[in-house]
Amino acid sequence: MAWQGLLLTGFDRRIGEALDLFESSHATFMEAITACYPELHFCELSRLFANLKRARPELAQELTANLFAAYGLRWCERLSDTVNAILQTPVAFQKSVDEKKWGTRDLAPLLALKSPGEITPFLTALSEMPLGKSQAVQALEWVIELYLLGRPLNDLMPADHDGDAYMRRLKQWRKPVSVNSDEQWTRTVGQWPWPAHVQGRWQRFGDQAGLEIKIQTTSPQDFHKKLERLISIRDAWSCND
């Protein structure tokens, strides 16, 4: 497919002719592009926009807002900065971002850098790590923060493909006080006199931490007894607080 000579699909073909949607059906560029690509992820859309700017700068300027609006994004200065930033990242990272469906806000840490190219080795490595979306987003934020605080990029690179261990290492560097405190509380909580069939552990909930308690009970009476026995846990917590 093509539009006024601009190839829209079939980039890997070497023979044959492209159907020009402008000549065949007088379609506008927006009609042609949305017909060919009813869905586009952010990085795909950014690359499309960059190619359009190179091929038809006047058309790109005219249709910028409508192009991004067609895919659910409002064009503004911050979005423009994010597009420019993501285009400076490795294609492997861009593909990972699209596969995990990152939002534009998830990419905000990139805007703190003079150029995302500064951390290209990390971005490539991040795309290969077995991390979920939330972990990958958190890793990007922590690595950029640590990098801007002066830690060498080589130190921040993953040593292997153990995603959980890598996240623990980054957290230890970024939040050493909270990590040490959580480890101490975990040991302390494990020593408390927990009633039978009651499990308690120290858990972090965002920026706060506290007790997570799991109770197995068979009746209202049993439940009441376990709650009474938890008074000793309250007292132990008060002594350590």
Statement: residue 177 has pLDDT above 60: no
Statement: residue 79 has pLDDT above 60: yes
d(CA 56, CA 69): 19
Statement: residue 10 has pLDDT above 60: no
pLDDT single digits (tens) 81-124: 999 999 999 999 999 999 999 999 999 999 999 999 999 999 99
For residues 220-237, b (16+ Cβ closer than 10 Å) or e, as one string?
A: eeeeeebeeebeebeebb
Could you tell me the two tokens for 49? 């926009």
The label of the residue with tokens 């991004």 reads 68
Q: Is 189 helix (H, G, I), strand (E, B) or coil?
A: helix
pLDDT single digits (tens) 201-229: 877 666 677 888 888 888 888 888 888 88
Q: Which amino acid is at 108?
A: A
pLDDT single digits (tens) 55-68: 899 999 999 999 99
Q: Is 150 helix (H, G, I), strand (E, B) or coil?
A: coil
